Amino acid sequence: MNKKGSNIKLIALDMDGTLLNENHQVTNENRQAIKQAEQKGINVVLSTGRSLRTARDYVLSLELSSYLVTVNGGEIWGPNGELVEVNPVDTEQIKWMYELSKKHNAGFWVTSREEVWRNNLPEDLFSQRWLKFGFEIEEDEIRGRVLTELKAKDLFEISNSSPKNIEVNALGINKAKGLQKVCELLGITMENVMAIGDSLNDIAMITEAGLGIAMGNAQAVVKEAADDVTGTNQDSGVAQAIHKWVLD
């Protein structure tokens, strides 16, 4: 175990591009390392841009017994499946982002507390409780224009989960904010956290954690923000980091 890892009481894991390989599976190496960390009394928390619906099966498969941070901090779930906190996006802003997507002919998805909508929205926007708006844009120039308009509003937390998308949460809501709440509930601090991720929506937790780890397949800016870089998601980089910093 490295000295910086001796104080770790919580491991926060992004899912896509981090815990999961390209087939959206958890490798046996990752599974075993997580189990060993839990046996040492360390909390393992998935901190993801996914909704509960698309994260839950992994939590059950891994038999995790701690908290869960979903939708980039939009929701925090307790060990017994109870909703601890919800941080919504204003419906009027969802409407504005929908218009922005139409203006630039951009693909989009929107996560509400009820479901995920792709390239369409319900007639009554106020029938849903919105958590995140995502733009899917292949062309760099168009993505840049959309980013410029989003930033000009100064109302949003802007990140991504791949170089080709933009993810928008309520201002100040991100994975780090969600993990701060989890730490508070567990009686620990962010200094006790090792956070592992690969995309812009992971930077806040990587920089605010006591130990921030970027995946080998992470975006360059994420690697620059991290304390260390582990293997790729295809090579069980999560297991490598857990062994290096916590177990060995």
Assign 3 a pLDDT band (cuts: 50, 70, 90): low
Question: How large is the average pLDDT for residues 214-234?
Answer: 98
Those residues with Cβ within 8 angstroms of residue 163's Cβ, 6 or more apart along the chain or in another chain: 219
Query: Which sequence positions are flagged as catalytic?
Result: 14
One domain for residues 8 and 81? yes
Residue 113, domain CATH: 3.30.1240.10
Last residue of a domain, one of 170, 187, 222: 170
One domain for residues 81 and 180? yes
User: Would the pLDDT of 1 be above 60?
Assistant: no
User: Would the pLDDT of 5 be above 70?
Assistant: no
One domain for residues 206 and 101? no
pLDDT digits (tens, 9 = 90+) for 133-180: 999 999 999 999 999 999 999 999 999 999 999 999 999 999 999 999
- Look up the pTM and report it: 0.94
pLDDT digits (tens, 9 = 90+) for 81-95: 999 999 999 999 999
One domain for residues 68 and 112? no
Work out how many domains the chain is built from and give that number.
2
Q: What pLDDT score does 207 carry?
A: 98
Q: What pLDDT score does 243 carry?
A: 98
Domain that holds residue 214: 3-86+174-247
Last residue of a domain, one of 170, 197, 231: 170
Residue 204, domain CATH: 3.40.50.1000
